Structure 1
């Protein structure tokens, strides 16, 4: 991972409201363990915690701080399933693959809730998320979406047609919505910090400021940092968009993308209640979607836009404020207290990449915007395959992943053109 190791989190609302967490030492000298996990975000900490619960000696190497990447910067929405849903998976990869993935589509959500309850993690967990339709075409898609998810076992869905949606969202922007009562939202940085503390309570060790500068395959695997090394029987590569070329085989098959988020000043209780009466998380149905929710202290957290290639825009507030004020004109001129961005990893087919290198190096990445839940599922599946149960991990590992057209140099412009096409479709409602 990168030799540049920030000592603090990006200046986000989450960092400003994070629960106390120790600054862990960097690795010095050599350590030996059963499993070394590279990356202390959701995928890495989920894997480490599952493995520690099974009695394995696990060491985590983090280039910066626990939750420094997307796990500590995202919208905080618990959204079920994957970035490509079961109908697309079934059409492209067959009924057997769709059934295997469909059986796991809602499991990441349950894992999060189990973790919060078992380890008493304070992360402002709330129930309910909502998909908002901007036009009639999107509303029809939500009707079909409800039927699809019910076929795969989600019986906690509610369709809000026409003005019914205003029961949950105080905006004129939409024509209807689908509520998933099993979804929800939370403070993502506090979740990963709480999971890291749970891992350490089981004897796990986390080294921060310890980027991996070389990975030497073998039995055992050797990982070098600037001041130390780890020898491990097995390795989990869990850096996602911040992996920085540790998996060269996948370099052209995934692309970092930036998303931008702002957080308002605290809102009056009556105003917050008018915006989101049921305190649910919301995302719209556009290809380049907007998403928003209320924090525990009644701030509106609003995200939107995608920057292909992962570069931060010069003025994040300038990108997001117009979207926020279009959705909620009553917030025109509201003070923005925090504005930040972070990278997620996009794959061409919008499905996550799981796999094994040289029989003992495992990876999971590329959640394409659905990382909060799927990363928690990934951790469980990695623990399963390491303990002899491979079939569920292999259901993902068997998905084909093609490189972006044009290779590394042209993947950004090609993707931007594709995004422009879908943006036009969204605007026209076709």
Structure 2
């Protein structure tokens, strides 16, 4: 692909994930060169940027996306593929920090992101192995109590798609002795995340939109009425700019760089297990995540692999050996897979906010941003994309509600935020270990 696209993306190639190897759309990237003028310039071709762009293009706007690597190169193309409703911060925490009115507002929106994904897949015939149902798995009685409280809280805000599972009921859906029980969310699901992203990009282009890839943004002039987005070989002048770089925006926009911290998480994919063994492991074919602070998450792929993820590294660095880090947890949950070949191992960053609540706002009169999904971005990013499009199209009510939610800086600033978060995670890991 020629010269390196940027320091963070190397030459722009996808990381060696199972998703990149099994993608069903292969694009020919076109880089930005020269001057472009457009209605809306979106920075970042991940879920937030694509959702914003599609919703605006459907309303007749001329939209241009500028992407530093390739479509879905970041978290949108290498995540767990789990459509999990809600935010990292629970509604109870939101109510305590921001008040009951804010919790009620957020609670009324938590399932909208999944419905947006359903609509896009159906409308644009996106082939991404979309399936229904996700399961929260509990190791301890304390975890079961936490899930019961979550079910009651969600019902309080009008959501009644959750069913508690005792050990036997969970075992019928997930064939593992590791868990005490769990909870099923019938409104969740899972899919192939990179194929969803690539399908959304194709849908956007079918609406007349333009995507420039391999064009990392170096600077954004956001103070003036018409923002200007600069890359190494070109620039875009727009009536409105939307910054959706999330964990990979880097220092291109200093006003945003301290608001979130990159955190890496890791994933592995086994060799194909065959239909019989795969279905014996997860008879329900649903996705699963446990409820520990540093959680594991897993599901089956369409070609009967086990895709298993977990672990965090604050600051966004990669562990030396992803397989060595994740295999013990995989074999703890499924001893049946002991010694099975791991064919793919990869890592990637998400953007963590201190409050674990995603942020949306403006850093100039016509420059918007959204980021900080804190590991729960599949549904939230699609919701925020629609909300940003509403605001740009003249209906800012929901955007302004999110904009007013206060954000908090990391203690210790950029230098000490990773050590601070690591020490905090040790405490929560201890609580999980002793069953508190």
TM-score, reference length from structure 2: 0.97
Say whether 1:412 aligns with 2:418: yes
1:9 is matched with 14
Q: Which of residues 261, 269, 291 in structure 1 aligns to 2:297?
A: 291
Q: Which of residues 347, 353, 360 in structure 2 aligns to 1:347?
A: 353
CA contact (8 A) 2:260 2:354 kept: yes
1:143 is matched with 148
> Gaps spanning 5+ residues in structure 1: where?
none
Say whether 1:153 aligns with 2:158: yes
Question: For the residues of structure 2 that align with 1:267 and 1:255, how far apart are their CA atoms?
Answer: 37
Say whether 1:267 aligns with 2:273: yes
Say whether 1:240 aligns with 2:246: yes
Residue 163 of structure 1 deviates from its aligned partner by: 2.2
CA contact (8 A) 2:25 2:195 kept: no
Q: Which of residues 365, 368, 379 in structure 2 aligns to 1:362?
A: 368
CA contact (8 A) 2:220 2:253 kept: no
2:193 is matched with 188
Residue 251 of structure 1 deviates from its aligned partner by: 2.5
2:322 is matched with 316
2:283 is matched with 277
Q: Which of residues 212, 219, 223 in structure 1 aligns to 2:217?
A: 212
1:379 is matched with 385
2:72 is matched with 67
1:394 is matched with 400
Show CA shifts across 1:40-74 (max 9, x none).
Answer: 00011111111101101000000000000000000
Show CA shifts across 1:268-302 (max 9, x none).
Answer: 22211121010000000100000000000010000
Q: Aligned in 2, Cα 1:4/1:339: closer, same or farther, shift over 3 Å?
A: closer
Say whether 1:25 aligns with 2:37: no
Q: Aligned in 2, Cα 1:408/1:340: closer, same or farther, shift over 3 Å?
A: same
Question: For the residues of structure 2 that align with 1:56 and 1:259, how far apart are their CA atoms?
Answer: 36
Say whether 1:88 aligns with 2:78: no
Say whether 1:164 aligns with 2:169: yes
Over aligned residues, Cα RMSD in angstroms?
1.1
TM-score, reference length from structure 1: 0.98
Question: For the residues of structure 2 that align with 1:11 and 1:195, how far apart are their CA atoms?
Answer: 22
Residue 336 of structure 1 deviates from its aligned partner by: 0.2
